[in-house]
Amino acid sequence: MLVHEYISVLTTKSKGTFGIRNAISSDAPYICEVFKSIYEWEYLYPKVYNKMKLIEEINEEQNYWFCVDKLNEERVVGVGLLRKESEISIYAGKTVLKKAYQGLGISQLGTECIFSFLSHPRQENILRFDTDVRATNKNSQKFADKVRCIPYGFIPNYNNYADKRNFDPSERMPFSKGKIEPVIMYVSPIRTYWKKRSRNIYFAKNQAILSFYNELKKHTNRLGRDHIHMKQDPSRQLEKFNLKKDYYKSCIKIDGYLKEETIQNLLQNYSNWNVIEWRVPTTQEGLSSQYIALRNNFLVVGYDPGSFIDINTSLENTFVNDTILFCLFPNGIDYDQFNNIKIFKKNQGIVDLVLEKVKNGKMKV
């Protein structure tokens, strides 16, 4: 067993003492084994089974991998990743713990690790902590609530589990088959998050959007002072957006403003993907995009407060805006994915808003 400097240590009643620390390159084979113990060969991303690719991931500047050891007994019984997603956001994912050590409260170590990461001077502008949780995992949803994460969305078709070791994304075709699962999206405010968030909210005149906003108000009283503007579709259309492709999950992610002609082209080009996720800002400029999404049968699946910042604007001189989560499912929805979901009671309202739209195949907004 190597000697490590642990960020935090936890002693359990029945299973000994555990410590959490920064991952190092030599942890790669142990990390592989943790993923195999839970997912066999069917994790979302096959690089977790490739030691050399894992070493690259561990050394990637934007990534912060951490490992949990059972002190003096077993190296790497759990693993997770924090990644800087944007100027204002960090994301937590790939959190896995061997079954023998689940239910012992070891997730508390992950919280300590997040605090350690945020204490670094390079993270001083981070305003939000983001994560998503499998809708089949009620315990993880409970933990997210325990650490004061706010649920803001429910996305079907989002996760796609299969053996993808022979899948080649360079062929430019998404991996669309596999075990499909929905997820619940969470955000946790950090530092001056609420002060930086704009309270001027512009909505298309649509009940689904308003319903999601009102559902979010049940989880935080910070929205009570917002100024809501319900507007007609403006004639002017703005275009400024980022687009990311996740071939392994068959997911397209768009942030920003799109014109009608552009979205029509995108829908044609990505007609064989599982999810097209479009986050539209609740700004005056975003009104036309909201109406375009609705006209093209995108489903409202969430409302994310304080998530959008113009890429050409300094954080010091601007507010962050909310976004509406719109999703389209070009391959349709596999309804079997809802059979095994286990929803924590606090999340039920958000889940119901989506399921009401997709049940019986009714996808119109």
pTM of the model: 0.93
Q: 1-123 and 193-361: same fold? A: yes
- Is the domain spanning 193-361 CATH 3.40.50? The answer is no
How confident is the model over 266-279, as a mean pLDDT? 97
- What is the percent of the chain where pLDDT is above 90? 75
| pLDDT tens profile 290-330 | 999 999 999 999 999 999 987 555 566 678 999 999 999 99
User: What distance in Å separates the CA atoms of residue 287 and residue 256, rounded to the nearest whole number?
Assistant: 11
361: phi > 0 → left, psi -120 to 50 → alpha, else beta; which? left
Nearest to 197 by CA among 115, 116, 303, 298: 303
Q: What is the structure's pLDDT at 361? A: 55
pLDDT at residue 159 above 80? Answer: yes
What letter would DSSP give residue 331?
A: T
38-42, 57-61, 139-143: which range is least confident on average?
139-143
Query: Residue 364's pLDDT band (boundaries 50, 70, 90)?
Result: very low
Q: What is the structure's pLDDT at 312? A: 57
pLDDT at residue 337 above 70? Answer: yes
Q: What is the structure's pLDDT at 170? A: 87
Structure tokens at 332: 């349709």
Pairing of strands 63-70, 17-22: antiparallel
53-57, 145-149, 207-211, 330-334: which range is least confident on average?
145-149
Sketch the domain layout of the chain as residue ranges.
1-123, 193-361
| Residue 170 host element (H or E) | none
How confident is the model over 95-104, as a mean pLDDT? 91
Query: Residue 73's pLDDT band (boundaries 50, 70, 90)?
Result: confident
- What is the percent of the chain where pLDDT is above 70? 95
How confident is the model over 96-102, as a mean pLDDT? 93
Q: What is the structure's pLDDT at 40? A: 97
Q: Calculate the alpha carbon distances from 18 to 113, 161, 276 in Å.
A: 13, 29, 40
Query: Residue 360's pLDDT band (boundaries 50, 70, 90)?
Result: low
How confident is the model over 24-30, as a mean pLDDT? 96
Architecture, CATH, for domain 1-123? 3-Layer(aba) Sandwich (3.40)
8 A C-beta contact, residue 138 and residue 343: yes
Q: Across the chain, what does the average pLDDT equal? A: 92
pLDDT at residue 362 above 70? Answer: no
Pick the residue with more confidence: 309 or 179? Answer: 179
Q: Calculate the alpha carbon distances from 76 to 2, 43, 198, 200, 360 in Å.
A: 11, 18, 42, 47, 45
Q: What is the structure's pLDDT at 313? A: 58
How confident is the model over 201-219, as a mean pLDDT? 96
| pLDDT tens profile 228-260 | 999 999 988 899 999 999 999 999 999 999 999
pLDDT at residue 29 above 60? Answer: yes
Query: Residue 363's pLDDT band (boundaries 50, 70, 90)?
Result: very low
Contacts of 321 (CB under 8 A, 6+ apart): 197, 198, 281, 282, 283, 286, 306, 307, 308, 309
